[in-house]
A and B are shown apart, each in its own frame.
Chain A
């Protein structure tokens, strides 16, 4: 379940007086005709949500109902439609009311979401486990994404026959490589048969050293002995000592204890703190996308991973490590969708030949958002730096691309680096970054609609509603008529009230970025005409150019911070957020706001939040209900 309602709630002027009775009046007007008590449409009678108590007892009903209204699936075609503002007030009220009821008891532990490592995590973990620097991610199929939009979401990390083959193949590939390299061999072969040390004893020592690191928790004899037996069986099949060891470790890399992130069941019937080693993995897969290191395991053993004092030094330390670069790239690539730059969203090679030919520049552009994110985190800057900042990440290639003079370290100007931007550079924050500007364009031209929608979705967390089923077509282009400018064509969006209901919110934001072309270069003219960057927001606020846009977004900073928190928490938990998580989000956002929007405060608050630290009790198994159609 998404948390979009919060965003809508904040985005829209919601009169505080909207009452339960008003909500009922809305339902009566638009829904009752079909959802009446006798043979209600779709088997759903409005009676079920007619009492205020139903906001708690039938929260799922309310959520579903609001989603149908918000997505304009209801009322159906042909029935009287509520005006958009009324529908939005209604759904915002439903969302706010549900949240209020759900939060009455404060933040709560989330559901247990065991999941497999995704391909990146598998690859990073192998790297850190073996000190073996090969990319095995590309050997696996690409993982889809769910929840808050990330490829670590438990919901969508399904297994398939292809993957079972890959686990076996990759394990063999990895161990073959490890057997040949010095560092991995040293890591693995911590014992060898010698005088007084039998082969089995040596193998046992090796496994006792390897398994706790591979399984990310202490191991018992029950864990180790079956692997010793496997080693012995391999020896019986004629494998010499070393090949038998590497063969045995292949099983480790395909074992569910390695492949899955799981937590021991909580059968206490009440929420309890998460198992400390599971917590250590949660933290390390959040900030590194990889296994916990020795220090984390030690802190876990001491039971200190819920101690704010400890986390206050642990988090910065983890961020400073190179591994947090992966966090920056993976998180921003999906949050901002800049990952798509190498796919459908790649700027057209014929129109931007220099860009297409210059892999160095393209690499710099792709890496900029992730490295910027990581630097903001490492330096404990304000997270509002994502909206506007005095610094950015740049290289000499980008300096040229920006047509700016930047104080780069000249002896290593090709290295991406944190630099101060000159006054009026228009490159502060995410919106000055070519990756962002390109991914919110068509490959061959900019689009104020795409960019506006991108800002609403990725920055403010208030994605526009889907277009109605029968989009009236933009007027046909008449053969021989002079081409109309994009602004002229889009003026239809404002003239037609059906279009205007959404596009008045979208287009104005996008026009403000028209000074940037598809690949993020600054322009003041387009096709010989001066670029017009003026726009108007739904509430009549005028926006002018990128700086004006930054001011508009800064005025909505709490909306942004909530969206960033939702995204980060969803990423940290590896699952979609639920209604109950929104209470934790409220608290995290408050904390961040009270602490100058500092990045470390945000990460610390996420790691200390109830859904991150606590484990809900396992539901009592019930008889399977028949699946309802």
Chain B
């Protein structure tokens, strides 16, 4: 068991402890030479109604499909990708193996929890490459709590299907699902702390780290690993606090400061509002450069959130995805897919409305919309439904429908997205190279 758990690396964690009064003293924003590139992944569970998803035509001269229709006004900002797949997710069960690996492109270990193993996810590779440059390394969001229990039928802990962001093979990143808590976290991180507060916080962290080091000598080897996890996350917190307390104060200069009055309500009215509020948080975080990396799950693997709030939908998400080729169910399935696409449109428009010098935040972002299945009825990980919104700082050759040979690796997309983000990788998981045509020729 021990050998499976690897030590956590310091992940450039950030935390800034509260204290609103320091906001007033926040340094004036200054303009960086070039706006940074941001990366987000929005994940939709349960796959798509395939015929309604795939656009007609390829290249620049293509027609958006009925499901993608809500993105019509964003067509020049989009890249629709067809025929990519995640080969390492083909075995196992119908959901957990696929959905957990959507951003890692590896095969998760089948376990009820004792020895979870996945890989580092693409968003975290990006986050680590800019660690320390933003107040928060990354933002992990969702709208439904972590699914409880283990799925005894297929033998996986539901922890798997509830996390797509993994900072290393054994560490899924906890998600925040309360929009108000996200806002407060962003706000505190962005506003920084004064030197005195930083000093006091640093002393507290010093104290608990001292306890952890002493305790470490008294416990068994397997418990040491737990304490090492603790040491790792607390130490990176300490580093951040020290940085914030340095003489020059917080080195980060937001272009647009966080507006404390923009805090969302404690309890969203319904699912739709909840999703919008979470997407707002991504937009705010990107605009203020509080983080450059975000992942958001519209639901956990096998999510059965009721979509009866949509006119014409009669059941929960997962139930509908098992349409059994029933015409009514297929129609409902498409309505649910289209609703999710409309949410993507909402976020992209929001980013487009955020000016950033000569460009917009959307110009400097890559927002991946993905599902880990194509046809949910068949649990099919081939021909995944993928759209990227944004221009990645001008690197993405947007405005196209790109189709590839069957069974081209999804990981190639990640290699190219990381490239635009500023990370040159030879290989990511089972990638065979960059994704042809996705980036502009250098």
Binding site for B on A (CB under 8 A): 1-2, 4, 67, 71, 73, 111-116, 138-139, 141-151, 153-156, 158-165, 167-169, 171-172, 222, 226-227, 230, 233-234, 237, 247, 250-251, 254-257, 259-260, 262-266, 334, 337, 339-340, 343-346, 348, 350, 442-444, 453, 457, 463-466, 469, 473-474, 476-477, 479, 575-576, 618-619, 621, 624-625, 627
Confirm or deny: B147 has a beta carbon within 8 angstroms of a beta carbon on chain A. yes
Whether a CB of chain A sits under 8 angstroms from the CB of B144 is yes
B146 at the interface (CB under 8 A from A): yes
Docked-complex contact B167 and A348, CB < 8 angstroms: no
Q: Give 6 new A-B contacts, CB below 8 A, not counting A141-B146, A160-B172, A165-B15.
A: A141-B175, A144-B158, A146-B116, A155-B116, A256-B215, A477-B328
Given contacts A112-B222, A161-B236, A153 and B113 within 8 Å (CB-CB)? yes
Is B149 an interface residue, CB under 8 A from the partner? yes
CB pair B140 A264 closer than 8 Å: no
Contacts of A172 in B (CB 8 A): 17-18
Q: Report, nearest first, the 3 A-B pairs whose CB atoms are least far apart.
A: A146-B113, A144-B159, A114-B223
Using CB atoms, name the residue of chain B closest to A64: B110
Establish whether residues B144 and A255, one from each chain, have CB atoms under 8 Å apart when the complex forms.
no
Contacts of A148 in B (CB 8 A): 150
Cβ contacts under 8 Å, B308 to chain A: 348, 350, 444
Do A165 and B146 contact each other (CB < 8 Å), given the known contacts A158-B171, A262-B215? no
**Chain A contacts of B149 at CB under 8 A?**
145, 149-150, 334, 337
A-contact 0/1 string along B195-214, CB 8 Å cutoff: 01001110111011011101
Is there a chain A Cβ closer than 8 Å to B1's Cβ? yes
Say yes or no for B11: interface residue by CB 8 A criterion.
yes
Neighbour of A230 across the interface among B140, B153, B207, CB < 8 A:
B207
Interface centre among A144, A153, A254, A339 (most CB of B within 10 A): A144
Closest to B152 in A: A463
Q: Which of B11, B114, B146, B316 makes the CB contact (< 8 A) with A147?
A: B114
Chain B residues packing against A (C-beta within 8 Å): 1-4, 11, 13-15, 17-18, 91, 93, 111-116, 137, 140, 144-150, 152-155, 157-159, 162-163, 167, 170-178, 181, 185, 196, 199-201, 203-205, 207-208, 210-212, 214-215, 218-223, 226-227, 229-230, 232-234, 236-237, 303-306, 308, 314-316, 319, 324-328, 379
Q: Using Cβ atoms and an 8 Å threshold, which residues of chain A touch B177?
A: 141-142
What residues of A have a CB within 8 angstroms of the CB of B305 in the complex? 344
Q: Which residues of A contact B15 (CB under 8 A)?
A: 161, 164-165, 168
- Chain B: CB-nearest residue to A444: B315
Q: Which residues of A contact B114 (CB under 8 A)?
A: 1, 146-147, 155, 575-576
Q: Point out the residue from A111, A160, A234, A476 that lies within 8 Å of B1, measured CB to CB.
A: A111
Q: Provide a sorted-by-A list of 21 A–B residue pairs whose CB atoms are within 8 angstroms.
A: A67-B155, A111-B1, A112-B220, A114-B226, A148-B150, A160-B173, A161-B11, A165-B15, A165-B237, A168-B17, A171-B204, A247-B204, A255-B211, A260-B227, A262-B215, A264-B218, A334-B148, A345-B304, A348-B306, A466-B93, A476-B326
A145/B148 in contact, CB under 8 A: yes
Complex Cα–Cα for A256 and B212 (A): 6
Chain B residues in 8 Å Cβ range of A457? 152-153
Given contacts A144-B157, A168-B15, A237-B196, contact A340 B148 (CB under 8 A): yes
**Of the candidates A163, A255, A464, A576, which one forms a contact with B208 in the assembled complex, judged by CB atoms under 8 Å apart?**
A255
Q: CB-nearest residue of chain B relative to A67?
A: B155
| B-side contacts of A67, CB under 8 Å | 155
| Most interface-central of B13, B144, B152 (chain A CB within 10 A) | B152
Contact indicator B153/A463 (Cβ below 8 Å):
yes
Question: In the assembly, what is the distance between CA of A114 and CA of B215, in Å?
Answer: 12
Contacts of A161 in B (CB 8 A): 11, 13-15, 137, 167, 173, 233, 236-237
Q: Are B196 and A114 in contact (CB under 8 A)?
A: no
Find out whether the CB atom of A141 lies under 8 angstroms from the CB atom of B174: yes
Residues of A within 8 A of B221 (CB): 265, 618-619, 621
Q: In the bound complex, how far is the Cα of B137 from the Cα of A1, in angstroms?
A: 35
CA distance A255 to B211 in the complex (A): 7
Interface centre among B140, B170, B208, B308 (most CB of A within 10 A): B208
- In the bound complex, residues from chain A placing their C-beta under 8 Å from that of B140 are 162
Determine the distance from Cα of A344 to Cα of B116 in the docked complex, in whole angstroms.
25
Shortest B150–chain A CB gap in Å is: 5
- Assembly CA distance A538 to B109 (angstroms): 33
Contacts of A143 in B (CB 8 A): 146
A113's partner among B175, B218, B222 (CB-CB below 8 A) is: B222
How distant is the Cα of A164 from the Cα of B201 in the complex, in angstroms? Answer: 13
Chain A's closest residue to B212 (CB) is: A256
Q: How far is the CA of A343 from the CA of B13 in the complex (A)?
A: 31
